[in-house]
Amino acid sequence: MTITEKKYSRIQFISNGHGRGTMDEISELLKKRREKIDSLKADGIDLYPNDARVGETTAAISERYGQMTPEVLEMVTERFTVAGRLMAVRDFGKGAFISIQDRKGRLQAFLRKNQVGERAFALFKRLDIGDIVWLAGRVFKTRTGELTIDVEENGLRLLSKSLRSLPEKWHGLTDIEIRYRQRHLDLIVNPEVRKVFHQRSRIISLIRRFMEERDFLEVETPMMQPKAGGAVARPFKTFHNALGINLFLRIAPELYLKRLITGGLERVFEINRNFRNEGISTFHNPEFTMMEFYQAYATYEDLMKMTEELFVFVAQNLFDSLRFNYQGKEIDLTPPWRRLTVRDAIVEIGGVERTVVDDGVRMADHARKLGIEVKRSDPPGKVLMAIFDETVEKNLVQPTFITHYPVDVSPLSRRNAEDPTLTDRFELYVCGKEIANAFSELNDPVDQRGRFEMQLREREAGDLEAHEMDEDYIGALECGMPPTAGEGIGIDRLVMLFTDSASIRDVILFPLLRTRDE
């Protein structure tokens, strides 16, 4: 056994017991289960049959019969078949209550020796919590009023044998590391975790419906790109052997989606993963899900309205309300949401004097006072946004649109008609976090080339996140892209908000964790 294997032996007992290690290294529990398996096999019992047919879910039965009185239930002669994981056993010798769990919930069953028969009852006695079983029988209500399956003769089958003991029934699984690394256990024993992922699916489904109702076409664009464009972030790099070229996992689909707008699709959206080679936190996972959409002949102001409508649509369908709690704070989505320019926000919310905000030199001094590192090469817009991040962001609890971003930090946004140093752009903040970013798109290829050149200068000055020159994209713009507005919405953060989750890892089934060397 190497040092690294030894190091994680605690985890390995529950993460990899299949044939790994000798018998004296594995836990007593695992040993007992293996003995049990051998004896079941010896008696000719198939541990993993696949011919069982399941008629009902536990929830369907509960919904139909849960409200009926015991007397009425006695007249129900229908026979039901269900399957699920054995979660609890309350054994009385010649009878026993068991609970099984399927994708919809739990249901109790009652096994009576003189009804199910010797053979089935003997099988029951050798089952373990965690096994997958099949049940058949009628419904009745117990003395305490719980709807229960009265298992019929031979109405119990083993469908899959579990070799591991499940986490404790009362406290469940709370070790966060095991919860993330072995999500299957988390899902088996923690119903609230299952609920979050059901809600996640529902939210995405609602978003999709909202977009389709507005005649947006769902598309898929490359995840592997020769140039990682469309956002300001560091990419993951990979290599294609046959072509012999470097590729990057996309940091955004933006430039491809806008090519589709140029191609005449006019309204497109994509819900998919982006990859950013950055730190991990409760709000950042290296791969995360984003919806981006683009609408020709719309402006960023149209998108503010549409964003409000989208959030309202999701909240209404999810909660039947526009108010909900996030981490102890009540959020109210009732439109219209507050709109503030970056500068006004820094003055009104950040408490910085307007004279400072309007003066490049004083602004840099102020930034340094806040502990921000300012380089001589940093454009004023970048300094302004650093001050914004420091003084404003965390205070934007209720949904707020921040508008009029500096052109320096918006290489793909259309310039504002009145002030060409600003762009027609907004970001949406809720609970101190950026949820969406949108702008009227820059469709002037000459201006776009100039913006890319500006980014190149920043890259040369050491900014690894600065955008690259993308001649192909400029070529597409040169064909004429209609006036368009586009938006990206961080789906994980949106789901966090709607499910009251404190960490992004609670809304991603398999968040990235450090691997362990073998």
Binding site for RNA (CB under 7 A): 1, 3, 6-10, 13-14, 27-29, 32, 36, 88-95, 97, 99, 108, 110, 112-115, 128-129, 140, 142-146, 148, 164-178, 180, 279, 281-282, 371, 373, 502-503, 505, 511, 513-514, 516
Write down the least CB distance from residue 227 to RNA, Å.
Answer: 26
Alpha-carbon distance 171 to 138, whole Å? 32
Q: Which residues contact 108 (CB under 8 A, 6 or more apart)?
A: 97, 98, 99, 142, 146, 147, 148, 149
Number of Cβ within 10 Å of residue 292's Cβ equals: 25
Q: Are 220 and 270 a contacting pair, CB within 8 Å?
A: yes
In the complex with RNA, the residue whose CB is nearer, 176 or 479, is 176
The smaller minimum CB distance to RNA, of residues 288 and 426, is found at 288
What's the order of all strands across the beta sheet hosting 433-440?
217-218, 267-275, 287-296, 484-490, 433-440, 425-430, 400-403, 338-341
Minimum Å gap between C-beta 363 and RNA is 18
Compute how many other C-beta atoms are within 10 angstroms of the C-beta atom of residue 382: 17
Identity of the residue, 72 or 176, whose beta carbon is nearer to RNA in the bound complex: 176
Nearer to RNA, 218 or 389 (CB): 389
N-terminal to C-terminal alpha carbon distance within the chain: 11
Closest to RNA by CB, 146 vs 465, is: 146
Spatial contact of 138 and 79, defined as CB atoms under 8 Å apart:
yes
- Least Å distance, CB 80 to RNA, is 17
Burial tier of 144 (Cβ tally within 10 Å: 0-12, 13-18, 19+) = exposed
**Beta 400-403 vs 425-430: how paired, if at all?**
antiparallel
Rounded CA-CA distance 302/62 in Å is 46
CB of 501 to RNA, least distance (A): 10
339: burial class by Cβ within 10 Å (0-12, 13-18, 19+)?
A: middle
Distance (Å, whole) CA 263 – CA 244? 29
Given the complex with RNA, which of 91 and 330 has the nearer CB atom? 91
Q: What is the DSSP string of 353-377?
A: -HHHHT-HHHHHHHHHHTT----TT
**Smallest separation (angstroms) from RNA to the CB of 89:** 6
Q: Give the nearest distance from C-beta 17 to RNA in angstroms.
A: 10
Q: How far is the CB of 284 from RNA (least distance, A)?
A: 8
Nearer to RNA, 88 or 479 (CB): 88
Our CB check for RNA shows the closer of 215 and 373 to be 373
Tell me the closest approach of the beta carbon of residue 93 to RNA, in angstroms. 3
> Would you give the distance in Å from CA 18 to the centre of its chain?
30
Neighbours of 421 (CB within 10 A): 13
- Nearest CA to 238 out of 252, 224, 254, 251 is that of 224
Least distance (Å) between residue 185 CB and RNA:
8
Classify residue 165 by its DSSP letter.
P
CB of 197 to RNA, least distance (A): 17
Residue whose CB is less far from RNA, 359 or 434: 434
In whole angstroms, how close is the CB of 357 to RNA at the nearest point?
A: 20
- Angle 157-160-163 from CA coordinates, rounded to 5°: 125
* Six token digits for residue 386: 């650093």
Q: Which is nearer to RNA, 91 or 460 (CB)?
A: 91
Pick between residue 150 and residue 470 the one whose CB is nearest to RNA. 150
